[in-house]
Amino acid sequence: FVAAGQFPLPMVPDIPGRDNFRGRVLHSSAYRSSKGLAGKQVLVVGIGNSALDIALEAAVEGAQVTILCRSGALIIPVADYFGHPVDQMLNTRIWQAMPPKLRGLIFWQLIKGTNERFTSYGLPKPEAGKAMRTSNLKDSVQFGRFLQAGKISFVEGSIKSFEESTVVLTGSKGRLQADEIILCTGYRKRFPYLEPTIEDPLIRREIDKEEREVACHLNAYKLIMHPKEPTLCVLGWVLSYGNESCVGELQARWAISHWIGRAPLPPKEAIERELQTRLRRGRYPEFVPYVSYMDELAEACQALPDLSWAAFFRNPILFWKLFLGPTVPAQYRLKGPHANVEEAAKMVRSAPVVAHRMAGLFIAPPHSFSATAPRRGPGVPASRL
């Protein structure tokens, strides 16, 4: 198994004059906490998850934060008005069963207010006609208050060069003062620990007209199995509204089912057909709809829960939890190899029914300043979330 994570190699842009800058410049992979940022002017470069997390932490610490981004993104709050995790709602079978237009309406209600607020405070709108970049926002209420107070601001553009205490922006967009610069500029998707003959077929690179690599994607059957070496499988290299570690666990079960002969290995034609289909998905070929992807893997493992009418009449409470509650890993331990029916059923029954929260989005949107703060555990550095 390859299970070392998606982000082994930070992507650090080579910008002229970096040695002239008197402050600290670091990539988000080296960021640990906001300690020491109080009273400083912090420039956060990027608009991904880490950029939003770090900007919020720095503002909480007392820094003046500017987020510099070349283009906009679709901002997705991770909690609803009452602080409940949104992924509990999106990762349900009832959500998956809805007509696409209804799903789109509910999802738009979830994100509309937050995105309108961000745009009004300077976040560029995503470019029309392109696959839309998305970013998760962990506390839309607190972030909104910092925008309103001017403690966080957006500037469109990119860095052309560094000076002693400023950065020069591209075009004619002037300069920005900064004491600290945090580069949330992403990672190169690579497997540096694999031999090139093994790594090359596993990565599909996109090259522009100037022979520069602009993107690279995982080139694996079902986003798991090496296209030429079926005994090498990658875990957790997916994008989803669900938890990647939960996906990785079921991916491992899927791989083992094929290795031991419980499920047949796919023919070469099926592998190539699936890879070509995924390639046509645009900007995010690694994105998977959580429930349908997990169900597909579970079916190959003989672990797909029974959703028949017979199951409904046999245990209606469990059935409705399977359908209306979040799709937790315990659902895939109700049957099949290594099932633990009693404990799994107990955990599934304890999960909340979340269908009513979808209707609640129309009454109490998550961007409202009266919303409850997201429910979270102990603090974790933003670069590790």
User: Based on the number of CB atoms within 10 Å of its own CB, is 55 exposed (0-12), middle (13-18) or buried (19 or more)?
Assistant: buried
Tell me how far CA of residue 198 lies from CA of 7, 10, 195, 220, 226, in angstroms. 18, 21, 5, 12, 9
Residue type at 221? Y
Q: What is the tens place of the pLDDT at every residue in 34-77?
A: 999 999 999 999 999 999 999 999 999 999 999 999 888 889 99
Is it the case that residue 383 has pLDDT exceeding 80? no
- Confidence band for 382, pLDDT divided at 50, 70 and 90: very low
* Mean pLDDT, residues 299-321 taken together: 94
- Confidence band for 378, pLDDT divided at 50, 70 and 90: very low
pLDDT confidence of residue 380:
35
Residues 6+ apart with CB under 8 A from 49: 135, 136, 385
pTM passes above 0.95: no
At residue 202, φ and ψ (nearest 5 deg) are: -90, -10
Q: What is the tens place of the pLDDT at every residue in 86-120?
A: 888 899 999 999 999 999 999 998 888 889 999 99
- Confidence band for 375, pLDDT divided at 50, 70 and 90: low
pLDDT confidence of residue 159:
93
The alpha helices in 98-241, defined as continuous H runs, are 100-120, 140-149, 196-199
Its sign, for the CA torsion 310, 314, 315, 316, is positive
DSSP 365: -
Is it the case that residue 130 has pLDDT exceeding 70? no
Is it the case that residue 138 has pLDDT exceeding 60? yes
* Mean pLDDT, residues 186-208 taken together: 88
CA angle 142, 39, 153 (to 5 degrees): 45
Q: Answer with the residue of higher pLDDT: 373 or 355.
A: 355
User: To the nearest whole percent, how much of the chain has pLDDT over 70?
Assistant: 92
Is it the case that residue 181 has pLDDT exceeding 90? yes
Is it the case that residue 377 has pLDDT exceeding 60? no
pLDDT confidence of residue 381:
37
The two counts, helices (H) then strands (E), for the chain are 13, 14
Is it the case that residue 351 has pLDDT exceeding 60? yes
Residue indicated by tokens 């998707």: 189
pLDDT confidence of residue 282:
67
Orientation of helix 355-363 relative to helix 100-120, angle to 10°: 40
When mean pLDDT is compared over 66-80, 271-285, 361-375, the highest value belongs to 66-80
Is it the case that residue 302 has pLDDT exceeding 90? yes
* Mean pLDDT, residues 218-227 taken together: 94
